[in-house]
Amino acid sequence: MANYRINSRDRRTPPKDYVIQRGDTLSKLAARFGTTVDKLARDNNIANRDLIFTGASLKLGYSGKDTFEPSGSRQGFRPGGGRPTGGADVGGPTGVGPSNASSGMQRLAESARRAAMGMGGYNSQGLCATGVSRAIRDAYGIGVSGNGNQIDNNLPRDKFKQVNMTLEEALKIPGLVLTWESTSTRLGSIYGHTAITMGDGHTTASDFIERNTTNNGRSGFKVFMPID
């Protein structure tokens, strides 16, 4: 799909889609295409304006008032068709997976899988923070200490940023760090839980592979994304 640029001297032909490139932000794109962040976010059902994904398709349209109107296509759908995002970010998280996540996110997901299989396999060892710390060290060479409900405060903010999304959305993206303040188990009520998403919609890895990750019995949920 081609990228489109408007010639300020000829605005008669509107662009239809723009493929988000690495380094793009809504504010940069709004300035480039002569519109506003609010307009782009509204027209594309973007819930978190600080979170758009490389490779996703941004819908554009043009009105006579130098702003972009919806192009008439259905908004909030995965590129190439599929489920509606339900107000999630452009092209996802339902439109994001291992194929178009950043290389760092893919690397972290694979490191997490290796760490989990080298520790508990498919059985929890009660060492979730150790597994996540090993994965981060293997993927990024960063040492992160703390237990499950402390590790979020110890993630370096120049390498990870907190993002606002549901667990269902996060599980569809590989290489996100999840944390919970507490769980229903005795140790979990004290130390919380942490894990890294595999991007298949249900699996996370820490000291073990959790094949059906839910919020059941867990509270204080947070999501952190690597900054590449």
Question: What value does the mean pLDDT take over residues 154-173?
Answer: 90
Instruction: Identify whether residues 83 and 123 lie together within a single domain.
Output: no
Q: What CATH number has the domain bearing residue 57?
A: 3.10.350.10
Q: Residues 172-213: pLDDT tens digits? A: 999 999 999 999 888 888 889 999 999 999 999 999 999 999
Confidence class of residue 130 from pLDDT cuts 50, 70 and 90? very high
Instruction: Identify whether residues 13 and 82 lie together within a single domain.
Output: yes
Instruction: Identify whether residues 119 and 45 lie together within a single domain.
Output: no
SS (H, E, C) the chain: CCCCCCECCECCCCCCEEECCCCCCHHHHHHHCCCCHHHHHHHCCCCCCCCCCCCCEEECCCCCCCCCCCCCCCCCECCCCCCECCCCCCCCCCCCCCCCCCHHHHHHHHHHHHHHHHHCCCCCCCCHHHHHHHHHHHHHCCCCCCCCCCHHHHCCCCCEEEECCCHHHHCCCEEEEEEECECCCHHHHHHCEEEEEECCCCCEECCCEECCCCCCCCECCEEEEECC
Instruction: Identify whether residues 158 and 52 lie together within a single domain.
Output: no
Would the pLDDT of 67 be above 50?
Answer: no
Domain extent at residue 140: 103-226
Give the chain's domain count: 2
Instruction: Identify whether residues 42 and 74 lie together within a single domain.
Output: yes
Mean pLDDT of the chain: 75
pTM metric for this prediction: 0.59
Instruction: Identify whether residues 149 and 70 lie together within a single domain.
Output: no
pLDDT at residue 88 in the model = 31
pLDDT at residue 215 in the model = 93
Confidence class of residue 77 from pLDDT cuts 50, 70 and 90? very low
Q: Residues 101-126: pLDDT tens digits? A: 788 899 999 999 999 999 999 999 88
